[in-house]
Amino acid sequence: MAKMKGDIVIDIDKCKGCEVCIPACPVDVIGVSKNVNGKGYNYVETVNDECTGCTNCAVVCPDGVITVYRKKIE
């Protein structure tokens, strides 16, 4: 089975910082930013590059602000 490398993009302007995605990530890639977006919310951000591309975070996000990309690594 090919190993996958993932990456996520978070639309920080639309993120409400609900943190539902944080426990959904099996490799602890997501954390809460100390910064706030234009709406005053502490948005979520990536905190490491261990993403596997599992899409758990995107599936549970109630606002659909997370996009997951993945590629096979040899």
Q: What is the pLDDT of residues 14-59, one digit of tens each?
A: 999 999 999 999 999 999 999 999 999 999 999 999 999 999 999 9
Mapped onto helix, strand or coil, the DSSP state of residue 74 is coil
Phi-psi region of 60 (alpha: psi -120 to 50; beta: other; left: phi over 0): alpha
Question: Which run of H or of E encompasses 59?
Answer: helix 56-60
The domain ranges of the chain are 3-73
Q: Using CA atoms, how far apart are residues 31 and 27, in angstroms rounded to an integer?
A: 11
- 3-73: CATH topology is Alpha-Beta Plaits (3.30.70)
- Residue 1 has a pLDDT of 63
Q: Using CA atoms, how far apart are residues 13 and 50, in angstroms rounded to an integer?
A: 24
- pLDDT above 90: residue 2: no
